[in-house]
A = this chain, B = another copy of it.
């Protein structure tokens, strides 16, 4: 386990081989590589940091929670059961974590050239000191090495959090979440800053299965009897205030389309009553969501929480996988998304208001230069979230910079978002982003588009300053 094969973790990885670009990229990267990590949006379970117990084993740490990893294996014919992905009905799946890991090792070559491959290499090399590329032959040795390290104090979650130099870690939490894990962390005396983000999707989607239970839970936790649109809004406001009191600086909404429309309270209430009685249809749901985006923007103007929108994912496209294994199993597929017309109502109502910060993400890269950069390059309230999900990759992040910067500049963007469920991958993702940005700016510098002092200011902005400004984290 010592020789570095395959260029794994080469110091200058992901930089253009042209010497003029690479020299500058290394210089810029060196400037920011050790800056603290600010993670303004993600899906790490706060219980990990509240409980601070050892991660049970390598498969549990690296494969089972990470749909980026197991969807690729599934696409090549490996059943999810064989990877230990738990079933909804409790039907049996592979229990032997070594078997799961061996299967992963046998197919590790599938990740060559993918960002998941880049992140995994970083986790293996930088977090666990493993210098070989995973393969069938060394799979069990790697497993044993990681497993052993996970049992040591240096690999407890909080120790890793500190070692990763995470300044802020944001989780994503439902409207009715008690945030007790966040409270436990705060009460523990440990200094790590772990803050919630308010995501009301499950109470906003009035036709989703389980909505009535979600509304009941929201009534319970808010202490507000939700029997009308007015009391629903009141409960939402109540929860936003609670989240804010627990450190939240932002909200998030996952929507199918970013369509926005303000409707009259009476009409909203009529829809809400149909939802309560179980007779709301898809048109009702779409209009209700469109109106709720307006309401959430209004509330953000009032309470100062940064508003995020993540549209354009067709959730649970594969019904078989969804029924058997549940959501977030790698079968959410992007769709074409329209922003110019859809966001107009919201931007006309609040987009000129300096009190609003609206951060928009997309899964449709054709909107970068066509719609999002022109919108962000005009409306004061609008900022662009970074390349997201499938596009959080070397080429994807590069395309984002190339298609956005010339119209919106970098100062209408908000740095990097790791959006991960895989705790150990956080530094890998931020490191990759810093490398890609350094390389992008080095290209501009080597072509004399910008000067070296511009580049130095910009790399720091992209790696650190903009995310703090964009999410009110100063």
- Chain A: residues with CB nearer than 8 A to chain B? 5-8, 10, 12-18, 20-21, 71-72, 74-77, 109-115, 117-118, 133, 314, 317-321, 330-336, 338, 340-341, 344, 347-348, 351-352, 354, 363-366, 369-371, 373-380, 382, 390-391, 393-396, 402-403, 405-412, 444-454, 457-458
A412 CB contact (under 8 Å) in B76, B314, B351, B371: B76
Tell me if A318 and B341 are in contact (CB < 8 A).
Answer: no
Asked, given contacts A407-B393, A458-B113, whether A75 binds B15 with beta carbons under 8 Å apart, the answer is no
Task: Given the known inter-chain contacts A333-B374, A448-B7, please indicate yes or no for A403 contacting B410, CB distance below 8 A.
Answer: no
CB distance A402 to B412 under 8 Å? Answer: no
Which of B111, B320, B376, B450 contacts A112 (CB under 8 A)?
Answer: B450
Query: In the assembled complex, which residues on chain B have CB atoms less than 8 Å from the CB atom of A344?
Result: 314, 317
Q: Are B447 and A112 in contact (CB under 8 A)?
A: no
Min CB distance, A87 to chain B, in Å?
15
Known: A317-B340, A412-B75, A449-B113. Is A391-B366 also a contact (CB below 8 A)?
no
A–B complex contacts, Cβ < 8 Å, 18 sampled: A6-B451, A6-B454, A7-B449, A10-B448, A13-B447, A13-B448, A14-B448, A16-B18, A17-B18, A17-B21, A72-B377, A75-B408, A75-B412, A77-B354, A112-B458, A320-B348, A334-B340, A335-B370
Known: A113-B406, A115-B406, A390-B407. 15 other contacts (CB 8 A): A7-B451, A10-B448, A17-B18, A72-B409, A76-B380, A114-B409, A330-B378, A333-B340, A333-B378, A334-B370, A334-B371, A335-B370, A365-B366, A393-B407, A396-B406
Q: Is the CB of B75 within 8 A of A394?
A: no
Which residues of B are found within 8 Å of A449, using beta-carbon distances? 7, 13-14, 113, 117-118, 394
Given contacts A17-B447, A450-B112, contact A411 B364 (CB under 8 A): no
Is B75 in contact with A379, judged by CB distance below 8 angstroms? yes
A320 to B381, CA, bound (A): 14
A406 to B400, CA, bound (A): 14
Given contacts A113-B409, A375-B333, A396-B369, contact A448 B12 (CB under 8 A): yes
A318 close to B448 (CB less than 8 A): no
- Chain B's nearest CB lies how many Å from the CB of A55? 26
- Answer whether A391 and B369 are a contact pair too, CB < 8 Å, given A314-B340, A352-B318, A448-B10: yes
* Minimum Cβ distance to chain B for residue A217 (Å): 31
Say yes or no: A75 contacts B377, CB within 8 Å. Answer: yes
Q: Which residue of A21, A334, A396, A457 has the most chain B CB atoms within 10 A of its CB atom?
A: A334
Contact A114 B406 (CB under 8 A): yes
Q: Is A113's CB under 8 angstroms from B450's CB?
A: yes
Task: Find the B residue at minimum CB distance from A352.
Answer: B320
Complexed CA–CA distance, A336 and B371 (Å): 8
Least CB separation from A324: chain B residue? B352
Which of these, B109, B348, B411, contacts A318 with CB under 8 Å?
A: B348
Contacts of A10 in B (CB 8 A): 448
Residues of B near A15 (CB, < 8 A) are: 447
Report Cα–Cα, A319/B111, bound state, in Å: 47
Of listed A15, A331, A363, residue having the most chain B CB within 10 A: A331
